[in-house]
Chain A
Amino acid sequence: GAVVSQHPSRVICKSGTSVKIECRSLDFQATTMFWYRQFPKQSLMLMATSNEGSKATYEQGVEKDKFLINHASLTLSTLTVTSAHPEDSSFYICSATQRYEQYFGPGTRLTVT
């Protein structure tokens, strides 16, 4: 149980384009999902909290207009990187939560050329 998927697992896009990453909880409903960013050989940095049916809350320093989050249902949250630039290249990981336990997706490797 408690499986979280992410799609795509890997994406390469050109600078200036937008990329959407999906996070799905496959066998449970999650009112809250989290989006993290991980730089090479570093820890996970929380970007934002995605709540079903309401606006996402962003951590300090994260541009909400660049990283658009939509939590359309209890099993799906999407992260859209708008007007991507090479510095947005990173590993993006989502998690879906049940109370204080988080279940992580396998991550999405974004490369912006």
Chain B
Amino acid sequence: AQSVTQPDIHITVSEGASLELRCNYSYGATPYLFWYVQSPGQGLQLLLKYFSGDTLVQGIKGFEAEFKRSQSSFNLRKPSVHWSDAAEYFCAVARRESGGSNYKLTFGKGTLLTVNP
């Protein structure tokens, strides 16, 4: 069964510092991987996704993520964090239902990012 692990429940960084949020997945086939951000009381916004090709993907708001098949990881990075980046971040893997055409998402438990001034 597929699973997504985000080892860090809560991370605190100073504004301007670099950021890396970890994500490991377990999935038998080639994964479709996503990072979403959620502000309090809001829905999810897609930051970036990986389907195939270049393993370093660029997203919105200056975020990037690198797919490493050998490590089953898809870590999210940002070189300089802004106070507005404070939010909850979710990593997800899309899986195709057997015999069906739907792709369902399995989410990690999320990492809460706090940014200190």
B102→A43 contact, CB < 8 A: no
A42→B109 contact, CB < 8 A: yes
With the chains together, A95 CA to B104 CA distance in Å? Answer: 11
CB-CB < 8 A to B32: which residues of A?
100
B105→A106 contact, CB < 8 A: no
- Give the residue of B36, B43, B51, B109 whose beta carbon is less than 8 angstroms from that of A107: B43
A106→B43 contact, CB < 8 A: yes
Given A43-B90, A44-B90, A100-B94: A32 and B107 within 8 A (CB)?
Answer: no
A107→B104 contact, CB < 8 A: no
With the chains together, A106 CA to B45 CA distance in Å? Answer: 9
A49→B102 contact, CB < 8 A: yes
Interface class of chain B by DSSP:
strand
- Tell me the A62-80 residues at the B interface (CB within 8 Å): none
Q: B41 an interface residue at 8 Å Cβ cutoff?
A: yes
CB-CB < 8 A to A112: which residues of B?
none
A104→B94 contact, CB < 8 A: no
With the chains together, A110 CA to B87 CA distance in Å? Answer: 22
A93→B43 contact, CB < 8 A: yes
Q: B70 an interface residue at 8 Å Cβ cutoff?
A: no
Q: A109 an interface residue at 8 Å Cβ cutoff?
A: yes
- Tell me the B37-62 residues at the A interface (CB within 8 Å): 41-46, 49, 51
With the chains together, A105 CA to B46 CA distance in Å? Answer: 12
B102→A107 contact, CB < 8 A: no
A109→B41 contact, CB < 8 A: yes
CB-CB < 8 A to A4: which residues of B?
43
Measured CB to CB, the closest approach of chain B to A94, in angstroms, equals: 9
Q: A87 an interface residue at 8 Å Cβ cutoff?
A: no
Measured CB to CB, the closest approach of chain B to A86, in angstroms, equals: 20
Q: B103 an interface residue at 8 Å Cβ cutoff?
A: yes
Q: Which B residues have a C-beta under 8 Å from some C-beta of A?
A: 32, 36, 41-46, 49, 51, 90, 94, 96, 102-105, 107-110, 112
List the 3 closest pairs (A to B, CB-CB), nearest first. A100-B103, A104-B43, A104-B44
